[in-house]
Structure 1
Amino acid sequence: MSSGAKEDKAKPKGGSKCFKLSIIFLLLNISSFVVPATGFSLRNCRISYSNIKCSMSLLTAVPHDIPSSVKGFDLSSNTISTIQVSDFKNLPHLAQLDLKHNNISHIDKGAFADLISLKNLNLNDNKLVQLGDDLFDGLRNLTELRINKNHITVVAPGSFKSLTILKVLDISQNKLHHLTAVHFILQHLPHLKTLSIQKNSLTSFQSWELTNSSLELTSLDVSQNPLAVFGITADVFPNLASLNVGDSREQLMKWDVRNKTFLRRVSALDISGLRMAFGDIKTFLQTVNSSLTSLKMNAMTLDLKALINVSCTIPTASTLQLRHNNLSFVSSDLFWLCVNVAELDLTLNQIQDIQQEAFSSLRGLRILSLSRNRLQLVPAAVRNPPTLTKLDLSTNMIHTLRCNDFANLTKLTELSLYLNSISSLEECLFKDLIHLRILNLQNNHISALNGVFKKYLPNLRQLKLNENELTAITLGEFKGLQSLQTLSLHENKIKRIENGSFVGLTSLTDLQLQLNNIERTELDKGGFNDLTNLRRLDLRNNHIKYDDSSALPHPPFSQLSRLETLAIPSQHRRGKSHLPCNFLQGLTNLLFFNTRNIQLLSFATDMFNYTPRLQTLDVSSNDLVDLSPDLFTPIRNLKRIYVSRTSLRSLDFLVDANLTELVFMQARRNAYSVISEDVMKSLPALIYVDFQGNSFTCDCDNAWFLRWAENNKQTQVFDAFNFECHYPPSLKGTKLLELNLESCTVNIDFICFVSTTCMILLFMVVSFTYHFLSCYLAYAYYFFLAVPFDAKHKNKQDPYQYDAFISYNTHDEPWVIRELLPKLEGEQGWRLCLHHRDFQPGKPIIDNITEAIYRSRKTICVISRRYLESEWCSREIQVASFRLFDEQKDVLIMVFLEDIPTYQLSPYYRMRKLLKRRTYLSWPQAKKHTELFWEKLRQALKAREDLGEDRLLLIVADSP
């Protein structure tokens, strides 16, 4: 970005919102280094693809934030005074540089040295006084250089030595006094084709002062110099084809060309305003009479008729331009000798009358221009040249057209009657113009066509009737124009279009009807159904208005399947409007739809179901409060959208619209104040966006957008540096991009340090815990798993369903079935709960376990080595021990089926803890006294649940 100072940036207000963006900015800052460099926001400049336009931007210096990929750079119309050596660094692809209309008076040596690809350089209209040595060093590929309208008086000998392939040089309107300066230029430009040194202060032109070798010049302009002599004494211009020596500024010029062969290839000669004795002019024209084809003699002060006679004796002369000669009358003998003239231009004279035989001798005349004169009728003389193909009668005072005005002009292909006073047309007017292709009748007073286009003009391609006074198009008005492709009827007063008005226009592709008085009723008549090949229809600025969005019985464009452009904006009538939901029915190939400024309130969600190929949509200047994302479902290929000056409160509809192909968006002057990250990221192909004139909020809500506008390298945010704050009031008028965003971000280095440290510590803690405290973690898991079940059953007052729940491993089931169950249930009569018999099917196992323990007075744990290894047994004893500690009741009885050494109990922390506090029964030690074992077990089951102390003397070994 530009390195302009931002020391006193305003601080945005955002409160806690600012901190919420910190993580987003962390990711944004990391990703901003990998986006493609194809475009971005420039201060006071606009970028379009690879061209940058900074004209009329009040720049005083060349901006330095230009992407290296740029190919065209326009800095015209600024106030730049100096070109520094660093101004155009790192622009290796720049091909065109425009610096005209500035105040450049100094260019550093080597300022253009890095522009290795530059082809065109424009320094017109500046204040350069001299061209120093090596001024253009490095421009080895420059082909066109323009230094017009400066104050150059001195040209150093080595100024142009680097421009070895230069082909066009314009150094006109400077203050060069001697051809020595031109000599310094030409000696280094062997391939120069076009040289313009007009309007300097050269008093003589002598070929020997230029160079001793021949040049490749094909065009030379030395006009408007006070030349006293024009001398060519050697064959230095063997390829010269165009020569302009006109207007010697009141100075009589002497013509000195020693050999006619020196100008043997000159085909275009301009001697307009030349001051020279008639005899010298005659000699002059004889010098080029072997090759001349085009001669311009505008604003001549000598006898025009004599000049015409001399020029028409040149057998090769075919084009004659005679503008600004104050002709008011063209006599029949003025062009009597011009038998070879094919193109005659009499524009900008004062011609009021032309004799009928004035052009009769011009039997090969093809192009005749009589525009900008004072003719009141079409002169009969224009009917004489049988070969006439183009006739221009525009900008005269013609008020009436007669049937025979264009008689016999069967080869005429173009006729212009623009800007006259014609009020009516006759049916027979164009009957002989069978080959006419272009007819211009615009800007007259025609109110009725009178069937003039019903029969004739079978080959007409373009008809301009705009800016007249037509009020209606009647049935079959254009049926004779089968070849017509473009019809311009805009800026008339057309209110009525009859059904069948366009019948016969089967080739019409472009119809312009804007700025008329057409109403919706005219559309409903189906008057456009005959235009089956129409590509473009412009209905802007009419009175088309629909009151609701209900479907039309006969959609107006249902037969226009090839239409690509439809415009209906800027209606004159006031009041809110809608568009029928099937208004676009039939337009399957529509690419561009413009509904600007029709005070539209909404769109039907299925509006674009009929236009799947739509690429450009303009809904600006309407009262749209919101746009549904569903509206865009059928038009996923949309590339350009205009939503300026609407009532949209946000652009959030774009997030779900899925417009992945959108490359251009104009959204000026709307009601939203924040541009969200989600909106911009939903448009991955966007390269240009315009948010001018929005009421931006200057706080951290827009922080992401500001960073994005400055740093992204894909999308140009047009005029972003001129966006202003509107809220809060304390920052109103502040430039949006001058805000200080430090409070909206956190330090990335600090975040990385803290994040890395926390991750390392967390990894170490997890590793330590897993390695040394895994058993404690397992206990904690089961402990907390039992909490909800405890809370569920703790306060229930239901009576116990069982006397004891038996917790055992399936491998110990034979002992339970053969020994424990017959004794306790069969002989002693206890109600026991066994999982294989009493658990409820389909219920979670943990729920069955918990309910069985809490619905039993006691829990008997039959412990073996397999029991200790079992996951479900572990859960059962965990729940039982939790009940033991939680209810403070004697509910747990432990029976060991095996002798298990203490060291083998070490991994089972919970079991060791219980055995240290509780006594237990041992089956291996009771094998000889089994009756005592069962009695002790009966007493344990019979004992109360109070936990005062152990009241039973059990057969046990020492507690582990």
Structure 2
Amino acid sequence: MADSVCHKLILRAILSICFLKSAFSYGFRSCTEIPDSNHTIFRCINRQEPDIINIVDDLLPTATNLTISRCNLSEVQNRSFQHLPNLNSLVLDYNHIVKVHEQAFLNLTQLQTLNLSCNDISSLQHVFDDLHNLTELLLGNNKLNNIDTFLFSNLINLKTLDFRRNHLNNFSVLVQSITNLSSLTKLDLSFNSLTTLHHSTRLPRSLSILYLSYNKLYTLECDKSFLKYVKVLDLSDNIRLSYKAFQGLNLKHIKFLHLRFTNISAKKLLNYTKVPPWHIDFSGLKLKNDHSLSSLCFLLQHHHPNKKQLSKLILQSNSIRFLKNNTLSFCPNVTDVIDLSKNEIKNTGCLQFLNGQSQLKSLKIEHNHLTKLPSCNKTKIFHSLRNLSYRYNRILQVSGFAFRNTPKLTNLELNINIIAYLDHKALSGLKDLITLRLDNNLLTDVYNDSFKDLISLKTLNMRNNQIAVIFNYSFHTLSNLTILDLGGNKITQLKPHAFDGLLSLTNLYLDRNRLKDIDSMLFGKLKTTLKVLDLQANHIQYYTERTHSPFINLTKLLDLKLDAQEPYGITLLPRAFFRGLKSLRSLYLTNNHISGFGAETFDDLTNLEFLTLDNSCVGIAQLKPGIFKNLKKLKLLFVENMGIKYFTKEVFGNLTGLKVLHLNRNAMLSLDTHLLDNLPNLSYIDLRSCPLSCGCQNSDLQNWIKSNKRLQFPYLYNITCQDHPGSYFHNFDTNVCYLDLGLYLFSSTYAFTVLLILLPLLYVRLYWKFKYSYYVFRSWFGEQWRRLRDQEEKYKYDAFISYNSADENWVMEQLLPNLEGSLFRLCLHHRDFELGRDIVDNIVAAVYGSRKTICVVSQSFLRSEWCSLEIQLASYRLFQEMEDVLLLVFLEPIPERQLSTYHRMRKVMLKKTYLQWPGSNCYDPASAKELFWSQLKRALKSSNTGSQEEQKLKEENDQRRERVGVGIHGREYFVNQTQIDDEVYYLMP
């Protein structure tokens, strides 16, 4: 079974590697390669995959450094890394690993560092047998309570072994497991449950560093020579351990012994043991009063008469409250450092307690209760003191000449206090001072003589104070200053001569202040030296385009930070804003809300190598072609979360040196492969969280990814298809994109051409039919017709008059007086249509609510769409429903060619009688009009289905041919009595 599994895993690894080399050579399911690592360094962070083999099986065998951290892992299976034989460092920390199988690290013969800390491992059995070259093994923060005797038997090169924060309680078994580790130099057993150092074998002679702090030791119970070769021994925080445990122990090689918070008396330790006192850390040994300190110094002085010096005296955490003059005068000369940190000292005076310490270089009084540094103008001077630290106190005030007694200081740390007042002369006399830290205090002002004497100062840190204004000449004597940190203050104004005298300044930090503008003249004074300028999180904004650059003179600047301007970002970036920055290497513009970038924005940044624009746009952004045209040296470009929908190849056309491109969290649906072809040195491109479409527009991109062997797409296998849920970008089906489209294009083009030819013809011939059908359907849908047909015998009107408003005078002056009254009731649209009702519904109701429809035809009538609709509806009743309801009255002669386009009207004229209003040139106008009204009234009185009387009248009129000017079948003739046209008929009463 084991062999079968082994063969499967090997085959799987081989296939994976081959597949990657031939296809997806730079895409990994759960890991990313560090750019420019040449396929050697990989990171797999925050992955939800529970199987470690699935996480690493597609990694390249060239991997040397692998980190798998904060993943959802519970075990490390056999042969998990066997396809990675070149691994040199493997980090598996902060997972949830409970079990490590015996052959988990098989084939990792080159591994030197293995980190399994911060997991839930409770036991280990033969898991390190194959790691012959391992030098560092970290097992801290687990649940180990016992160690197998042979667990480390093959780790002959192991140098560091870390067991911090486990549950170990048997020291003897642990020693047996490491006794053969001849190269082991460091063993960390802090924060375990050891009660004794009882042992059955010896420690390796190579072991020189042993940490046993925070255990439960009450006795050492070890052989006198057991710790003989240990140089650093930490036994702190074993509160039950007493001095008796050290009696007889051989600690002749000890260089550092840490006994803080044990039950050991320093006096007894020195009197009854042979521990070298000059190598003891006396922290936490209850030396809280002046008498105890004096006794300690006496013992140190006389314990070894030939040794007159100590390199350091560590007195931390002893609850010391005050120090008298000459307290330490009985001690041997301390040459390096005296550390009085983490005590309860409220006043150090002018350091008189250091009398006799003429060679001391460093003094630390951190984490105490100091409230004031007094003036030391006329006190003893300590010429040897170089470093002085008052960090983490409660100092409110520093008096004038506070450091006159330490004139040779090179490093002074007053940071992390509550200093609100720094006297003008507080730092007087410190001409050798190189580093001054005043950060994290409550300073509000900087005076022009505050730093007057600090002519050698190189670093001045005043970060996180309450400074509002930098006045003129505040730093005018600091000609050697290279680093000035004013970040995190409330600076709203920099006076014109604020930076005068800073002839060597290279780094200026003004971030997290309240500056609203950048003064080119102000910074221009630093043009020959300034290399780093930090303006993050200020209030810099511009409201108009301007051509003058605030950086025009900073030709040496290498690093510029303008991130996250408050409250809304820079918003508007002026034209040529970065002009003059010819040497700039790094530019930060993240978290701004810039409305747009001009094509010339970065033109002057010819040496730029790093550019980040993450979160710097408003909504959807579009980078203009040529915006990066001069950035040929750019190596890293971050444009994450800018709302970018697409790029053109011209945007990145000249970025021939670009190696890393971050496009994560943008709105891109596709990416042009020609863009990637123009970036010959690109090795890493991040497209995660982009809604890439799995359609034909990205088929070229998918093929490009498969065939490319130089470019890494991080988490390629995890990129999903937004338009096809459940599908993945790396393998969506592209076959449909490569069909022979010629036939489809020809067919569609042919059909489209035919349609274009037919549409005009159909429009001319069927326009009214379609329009009429539409209105008929609307009326039918509203159940108008059904209601009206049910009331067929109960007409509301005798006739509906269809006319154009241009003929309204004729209707009102001629038609209404002759027809309406006792004889007929007429329907006129301007008078009888229902208000608020749809006009189409009103027309339908009028046509079907009247016995007849009279169409008053004229040129204006023919041009009206509503009149055309009315005649269409009436003709529908005439032809489809076989009801004689339509009467045509022509007010003027209409040429036949004009009537030919009105197919429905021509059809009516061929089948039914129509009337022509007699013109003024008629032979007998009066008789003609009388005949016109008579025939119209007769037609209105006839039923819709016709009658014998009406037919008889027609026959009589056909026989009477008189020249009265009223035509029957469409044309009016003006001829003599003898010129009779067979096609013309006359109506007579």
* TMscore range, shorter length: 0.5 to 0.7
Tell whether 2:610 aligns with 1:622. Answer: no
Tell whether 2:289 aligns with 1:295. Answer: no
Output the CA distance in 1 between the equivalents of 2:411 and 2:137. 37
Q: Which residue of 1 aligns with 2:104?
A: 111
Which amino acid in structure 2 is aligned with residue 267 of structure 1? K
Q: Which residue of 2 aligns with 1:338?
A: 331
Output the CA distance in 1 between the equivalents of 2:244 and 2:265. 9
**CA offset digits 1:265-323 (Å, max 9, x no partner):** 2111101112236665234664224xx44525236599896377437446454323333
**CA offset digits 1:94-131 (Å, max 9, x no partner):** 22212223333322223223112211111223333333
**What are the equivalent positions in structure 2 for 1:368-447 lying under 5 Å apart?**
368-378=363-373, 385-447=382-444
**What are the equivalent positions in structure 2 for 1:654-803 lying under 5 Å apart?**
657-705=653-701, 713-720=709-716, 723=719, 725-726=721-722, 728=723, 731=724, 734=726, 736-737=728-729, 740-741=732-733, 743=735
| Contact 1:562 1:588 (8 Å CA) reproduced | yes
Output the CA distance in 2 between the equivalents of 1:215 and 1:651. 65
Q: Give the superposition deviation at 1:58.
A: 3.8
Output the CA distance in 1 between the equivalents of 2:375 and 2:713. 60
Q: Which moved more, 1:314-323 or 1:188-197?
A: 314-323
**CA offset digits 1:416-441 (Å, max 9, x no partner):** 12122222333322121111111111
SS in 1 for 2:373: coil
Q: How big is the alpha-carbon RMSD for the aligned residues of Structure 1 and Structure 2?
A: 3.4
User: Which sections of structure 1, spanning at least 5 residues, go unmatched?
Assistant: 1-28, 751-960
**What are the equivalent positions in structure 2 for 1:206-285 lying under 5 Å apart?**
206=198, 209-211=200-202, 215-231=205-221, 233=223, 235=225, 237-252=227-242, 254-258=244-248, 262-276=250-264, 280-283=268-271
Q: Which residue of 2 aligns with 1:69?
A: 62
Output the CA distance in 2 between the equivalents of 1:604 and 1:59. 44
Q: Give the superposition deviation at 1:452.
A: 3.3
Q: How has the CA–CA distance of structure 1 residues 722 and 30 changed in structure 2, closer, same or farther, with 3 Å as cutoff?
A: closer
| Contact 2:41 2:63 (8 Å CA) reproduced | yes
Q: Which has the higher contact order (CA 8 A, sep 6+)?
A: 1
Output the CA distance in 1 between the equivalents of 2:272 and 2:198. 16
1:362 counterpart (357, 375, 387)? 357
**CA offset digits 1:690-741 (Å, max 9, x no partner):** 3344333343433454566688553333454554554x4xx46x57448743
Q: Give the superposition deviation at 1:249.
A: 4.0
Q: Give the superposition deviation at 1:651.
A: 2.0
| Contact 1:220 1:243 (8 Å CA) reproduced | yes
1:500 counterpart (497, 500, 519)? 497
Which amino acid in structure 1 is aligned with residue 122 of structure 2? V
Output the CA distance in 1 between the equivalents of 2:733 and 2:317. 65
User: Which sections of structure 2, spanning at least 5 residues, go unmatched?
Assistant: 1-16, 741-989
**CA offset digits 1:143-194 (Å, max 9, x no partner):** 1112223333332332112111111112233333333322322322011111
Which amino acid in structure 1 is aligned with residue 516 of structure 2? E
| Contact 2:333 2:356 (8 Å CA) reproduced | no
Q: Which residue of 1 aligns with 2:459?
A: 462
Output the CA distance in 1 between the equivalents of 2:686 and 2:380. 56
Output the CA distance in 2 between the equivalents of 1:573 and 1:494. 16
The number of residues matched between the two structures is 705
SS in 2 for 1:287: coil
Q: Which residue of 1 aligns with 2:341?
A: 347
Q: Which moved more, 1:314-323 or 1:186-195?
A: 314-323
Q: Which residue of 1 aligns with 2:27?
A: 40
Q: Which residue of 2 aligns with 1:52?
A: 42
**CA offset digits 1:363-391 (Å, max 9, x no partner):** 33222222222211026799764322222
Output the CA distance in 1 between the equivalents of 2:166 and 2:504. 53
Q: How has the CA–CA distance of structure 1 residues 170 and 495 changed in structure 2, closer, same or farther, with 3 Å as cutoff?
A: same
Q: How has the CA–CA distance of structure 1 residues 539 and 200 changed in structure 2, closer, same or farther, with 3 Å as cutoff?
A: closer
Q: How has the CA–CA distance of structure 1 residues 446 and 200 changed in structure 2, closer, same or farther, with 3 Å as cutoff?
A: closer
Output the CA distance in 2 between the equivalents of 1:724 and 1:383. 75
Q: TM-score, normalised by structure 2?
A: 0.66
Q: Which residue of 1 aligns with 2:934?
A: none
Q: Give the superposition deviation at 1:31.
A: 12
1:326 counterpart (276, 296, 319)? 319
Q: Which residue of 2 aligns with 1:811?
A: none
**CA offset digits 1:781-832 (Å, max 9, x no partner):** xxxxxxxxxxxxxxxxxxxxxxxxxxxxxxxxxxxxxxxxxxxxxxxxxxxx
SS in 1 for 2:69: coil
Q: How has the CA–CA distance of structure 1 residues 604 and 78 changed in structure 2, closer, same or farther, with 3 Å as cutoff?
A: closer
| Contact 1:505 1:531 (8 Å CA) reproduced | no
Q: How has the CA–CA distance of structure 1 residues 426 and 310 changed in structure 2, closer, same or farther, with 3 Å as cutoff?
A: closer
SS in 2 for 1:185: helix
Which amino acid in structure 2 is aligned with residue 76 of structure 1? S
Q: Which residue of 2 aligns with 1:181?
A: 173
| Contact 1:584 1:610 (8 Å CA) reproduced | yes
Q: Give the superposition deviation at 1:248.
A: 2.3
Output the CA distance in 2 between the equivalents of 1:181 and 1:426. 63
Tell whether 2:149 aligns with 1:152. Answer: no
Output the CA distance in 2 between the equivalents of 1:101 and 1:321. 35
Q: How has the CA–CA distance of structure 1 residues 742 and 634 changed in structure 2, closer, same or farther, with 3 Å as cutoff?
A: closer
Output the CA distance in 2 between the equivalents of 1:746 and 1:240. 74
Q: Give the superposition deviation at 1:136.
A: 0.8
Which amino acid in structure 2 is aligned with residue 298 of structure 1? G
Q: Which residue of 1 aligns with 2:605?
A: 611
Q: How has the CA–CA distance of structure 1 residues 672 and 308 changed in structure 2, closer, same or farther, with 3 Å as cutoff?
A: farther
SS in 2 for 1:657: coil
Output the CA distance in 1 between the equivalents of 2:700 and 2:243. 71
**CA offset digits 1:445-498 (Å, max 9, x no partner):** 222211135622111111111212222222222111111111111122222223
Q: Which residue of 2 aligns with 1:646?
A: 642
Which amino acid in structure 1 is aligned with residue 370 of structure 2? L
Output the CA distance in 2 between the equivalents of 1:159 and 1:302. 46
SS in 1 for 2:296: helix
**What are the equivalent positions in structure 2 for 1:512-523 lying under 5 Å apart?**
512-520=509-517, 522-523=518-519
Q: Which moved more, 1:89-98 or 1:577-586?
A: 577-586
Output the CA distance in 2 between the equivalents of 1:707 and 1:294. 68
Which amino acid in structure 2 is aligned with residue 40 of structure 1? G
Output the CA distance in 2 between the equivalents of 1:690 and 1:150. 35
1:592 counterpart (586, 593, 605)? 586
Q: How has the CA–CA distance of structure 1 residues 425 and 198 changed in structure 2, closer, same or farther, with 3 Å as cutoff?
A: closer
Output the CA distance in 2 between the equivalents of 1:242 and 1:51. 34
| Contact 1:294 1:319 (8 Å CA) reproduced | no
Q: Which moved more, 1:543-552 or 1:402-411?
A: 543-552
SS in 2 for 1:717: coil
Q: How has the CA–CA distance of structure 1 residues 30 and 282 changed in structure 2, closer, same or farther, with 3 Å as cutoff?
A: closer
Which amino acid in structure 2 is aligned with residue 103 of structure 1? H
Q: Which residue of 2 aligns with 1:533?
A: 529
| Contact 2:534 2:562 (8 Å CA) reproduced | yes
| Contact 1:689 1:716 (8 Å CA) reproduced | yes
| Contact 2:419 2:441 (8 Å CA) reproduced | yes
Q: TM-score, normalised by structure 1?
A: 0.68
Q: How has the CA–CA distance of structure 1 residues 667 and 405 changed in structure 2, closer, same or farther, with 3 Å as cutoff?
A: same
| Contact 2:93 2:116 (8 Å CA) reproduced | yes
Output the CA distance in 2 between the equivalents of 1:484 and 1:619. 32
